Amino acid sequence: MDVKLSAGSTLFIEGDKADHLYNISHGCIRIHKLLPDGRRQVIGFLTTGDFLGFAVRDGYAYSAEAVTNTKLCGFSRVKLEHLLQAFPAMEKRLLGIAANELAVAQDQMLLLGRKTAAERLASFLIAFSDRLLKADLPISPIVLPMARSDISDYLGLTNETISRTFTRFRKLGLIELNNAETIYIRDMKRLRRVAGGEEP
């Protein structure tokens, strides 16, 4: 099943019946949860090649919205379960993807719980750069399709703090801001040290 979403469109809402698993063939998806007081916590950004929609219960554990125009391939959960019984190697692959999702969630808890604003933003930029590296693409520039408010809600910071930290990184020669979306990494070694807790 092919799914096309325009930027800002919703794929599913937290609690919806989890009857499909999706693979992103093009674009970017934002996944988030709503806190009891109505605030939004962005828990991840998924791009080309990523899977989403894994669920251990009947309902999705988060909401998913398109950041950009996005194309996905949807798989019926019931049909997929039958397919996995016939092809154990595929089940192992999907279990690996689910385990990676858990590792990412654990990293996010560390990011929000212990790191400073500079460490959080540096970690965020490095994570996007590492995705490019795994795809055999140049690690710079990084194109961030999401809004600053999305990044703020992901890192648990205010928009003002995000802007100040970007400016600080630029002045220190860590990055170059070509525009709101395109960021050139100028000193990856120092950026990694900042992500690890070293003062920029």
**54 in the same domain as 127:** no
| Contacts of residue 10, Cβ cutoff 8 Å, sequence gap at least 6 | 63, 64, 65, 66
**75 in the same domain as 15:** yes
Number of domains the chain contains: 2
Each residue's pLDDT tens digit, 67-126: 999 999 998 887 777 666 776 776 666 666 665 665 565 566 555 667 899 999 999 999
**171 in the same domain as 191:** yes
**108 in the same domain as 121:** no
**77 in the same domain as 170:** no
CA dihedral 78, 81, 83, 86 (to 10 degrees): -140
Range of the domain at 148: 116-195
**75 in the same domain as 162:** no
**97 in the same domain as 174:** no
| Contacts of residue 82, Cβ cutoff 8 Å, sequence gap at least 6 | none
Please determine, for residue 171, whether its predicted confidence score (pLDDT) is greater than 80.
yes
Task: Show the beta-strand stretches assigned E in 37-154.
Answer: 40-47, 51-52, 63-66, 70-76, 142-143
**122 in the same domain as 107:** no
**8 in the same domain as 106:** yes
pTM of the model: 0.79
Last residue of some domain: 55, 85, 112? 112
Last residue of some domain: 80, 112, 144? 112
**50 in the same domain as 34:** yes
Each residue's pLDDT tens digit, 116-158: 999 999 999 998 888 877 777 777 888 899 999 999 999 989 9
Q: Is residue 200 part of a domain?
A: no
**100 in the same domain as 121:** no
